[in-house]
Amino acid sequence: MNKNIHLIELLQKDYKETWDYQTDLLQGIIDIKVKNRREELNIETNNYFLFVEHPHVYTLGKSGDMSNLLLNEKQLESKGISFYKINRGGDITYHGPGQIVGYPILDLENFFTDIHKYLRFLEEVIIKVIAEYGLKGERSDGETGVWLDVGTPFARKICAMGIRTSRWVTMHGFALNVNADLGYFDHIIPCGIKGKAVTSLEAELGSKLHIEEVKEKILNHFKEIFEVNEFIKKASL
């Protein structure tokens, strides 16, 4: 089992371009797995981890409800916000500057074949990261992601998650609000969950954070929790 992960930093990249890139990487892994099974080979499959910051965009998961987008096409255009219906789980969410988006494209057969465990591990990575800033991240039953003050009137989400898997290969991932402009969440019902707020590290701590510092913490905890051998830095797209 290959527990190395190729780390690719995409900087700021268009959502559709990044989605296509993820799809190509996922399909490349699947092609190797199919070849292995058909020809009784044992070719090693790669794993990837993409870091990216998207321009303003709303994405709606395959089971999402369009009514959770509160703007029409002209309003989206006037505000410079893109919109895509996509093939991950979950409902609607926002991506934009000041947010760390992570896309692990892993062959789970290199780690463990359990989607529920995979999501819980992703949540645990973020819970451990924000704990370093003195915040107590929590899970909310039936609501994937990382929250603060679960079970109180002040419950708020700090990290959204949504994935897709095919033949045990993952794509899409998580979006951690670091210095994001939370006003963009006012134009959607985030994740289709009414009456719950969204927050960021900046909002909770009262000051902006260094994005690269937070990324480093994410990688450290991801390596620990997923028992990664090594992150191998690769050139960006």
Can you say which residues are annotated as belonging to the binding site for substrate?
Answer: 88-95, 160-162, 173-175
Which of the following is catalytic: 163, 191, 198, 214?
A: 191
Residue ranges for the known binding site are 88-95, 160-162, 173-175
| Cα-based angle 46, 9, 213 (whole degrees, multiple of 5) | 115
Is 163 within 8 Å of 119 (Cβ atoms)?
yes
Half-sphere exposure of 71 (CA within 13 A, CB side): 21
Angle between helical axes of 211-225 and 115-131 (0-180°, round to 10): 130
| Residue 162: φ, ψ to 5° | -165, 135
User: Is 159 in the active site?
Assistant: no
From residue 187, give the alpha-carbon distance in Å to each of 20, 63, 92, 181, 190.
26, 19, 11, 12, 9
Q: What type of residue is 101?
A: V
Is 46 within 8 Å of 2 (Cβ atoms)?
yes
Give the sign of the dihedral formed by CA 210, CA 212, CA 213, CA 217. positive
* DSSP result, 126-170: HHHHHHTTT---EEETTEEEEEESTTSTT-EEEEEEEEEEETTEE
| Residue 149: φ, ψ to 5° | 55, 45
- Kindly list the catalytic residues: 191
